[in-house]
Amino acid sequence: PVVSVLELGGVKVNREDVVRDDPTNNVPDTIFSKLGMQLHRRDQHPLGILKNAIYEYFDANYSNKFNKLDDLCPIVSVKENFDDVLVPEDHVSRSYNDTYYIDPQTVLRCHTSAHQAELLRRGYTHFLVTGDVYRRDSIDSTHYPVFHQMEGFRVFVPEEWEPSGMDATSFAAADLKKCLEGLACHLFGAVEMRWVDTYFPFTNPSFELEIYFQEKWLEVLGCGVTEQEILKRNGQPNNVAWAFGLGLERLAMVLFDIPDIRLFWSSDERFTSQFSKGQLGVKFKPFSKFPPCYKDMSFWINESFTENNLCEVVRSVAGDLVEEVRLIDNFTNKKGMTSHCYRIAYRSMERSLTDDEINELQWKVRELVQSKLNVVMR
């Protein structure tokens, strides 16, 4: 009973074109049902509230110069998602295990960086792109196959960096860090933060910003000075730019004290009624601590087994009732056969689950795991 035609950023999309039973497609119905939800465009939703607070910072500090786009279609080409941002041909993120493919040339974007090149070609020099992004992954309280990112991008012309006497790259890197430190202060107040050097194919140098929160260093965004090749290919050969991509759920979990990423998708009034437009950082009061229920499952794996595939099977049966899938035992016997034991945690955010209900889910999971993943139960 899912809606079967969607309009996404002005593009009409039929379910049958996105979810197909053929080997070049790995998009399940559970993912199709998330397309078009647009949580980041709801002003009373924590993700929308956070997006608006970031807009506020940019509007105030850059006199409304940043163009804001939050309705670009999440269905993009492999070229846009990977080639245009210089992701190497053999990079793991291109694999069917990590990315949702609609067909060999079309994916659900795995980052908002997929829109950089086109916006540059269309002449944008300052922009913020917010949207839902899709990644195949394992299951725990901070990972969900759909989440939201905001991409920031700023182009400088030579007249902007020349007076500083700095080289263009150092100038852009310094400006980027200043901009993002200011944003972190705007969102969190005075916080301890640190820069960590990292690698992205589309920026050089590249950094991650971490903030110290609840006794831990938390990675909140990736950024860097845009590779010159991207500017060159898209009509800006003499300019320099910076870019960042931040995960909205990560930041919102910290700002609003939201303990589990599934809650963002809840339509339970006890969740939704706790947030209101413009109210950043109102602490969420948990309305339930329903007990989790654990079920273990052991099987002999084969060469094609992956944890992401297992998690997708579990989610196809249990939906948001699954909280975590964790490998608790892993051994190889003398014959070279490898056994995995997974512990599945079932828990509803909204109600108590009955034993019968969970047993039924677990049976269906076992059956599907055997038939879809060709593993042998022990």
Give contact residues for ligand PHE (rule: CB under 6 A): 111, 113, 151, 200, 202-203, 222-224, 243-245
| Residue whose CB is nearest to ligand PHE in the complex, by number | 245
> By C-beta, is 250 or 315 nearer to ligand PHE?
250
For 185, the token pair is 């202060």
> By C-beta, is 219 or 360 nearer to ligand PHE?
219
> By C-beta, is 223 or 258 nearer to ligand PHE?
223
For 44, the token pair is 């009373």
54's torsion region: left (phi>0), alpha (psi -120 to 50) or beta? alpha
Residue position matching structure tokens 């889910």? 361
For 31, the token pair is 């993912």
CB of 176 to ligand PHE, least distance (A): 9
Integer distance in angstroms from the first to the last C-alpha of the chain?
35
CB of 373 to ligand PHE, least distance (A): 28
CB of 246 to ligand PHE, least distance (A): 8
Bridge pairing between strands 293-300 and 376-377: antiparallel
> By C-beta, is 243 or 280 nearer to ligand PHE?
243
The Cα 345–Cα 292 span in angstroms is 6
Closest by Cα among 23, 235, 249, 219 to 131: 249
CB 121 within 8 A of CB 234: yes
CB of 241 to ligand PHE, least distance (A): 10
CB of 87 to ligand PHE, least distance (A): 10
CB of 250 to ligand PHE, least distance (A): 11
264's torsion region: left (phi>0), alpha (psi -120 to 50) or beta? alpha
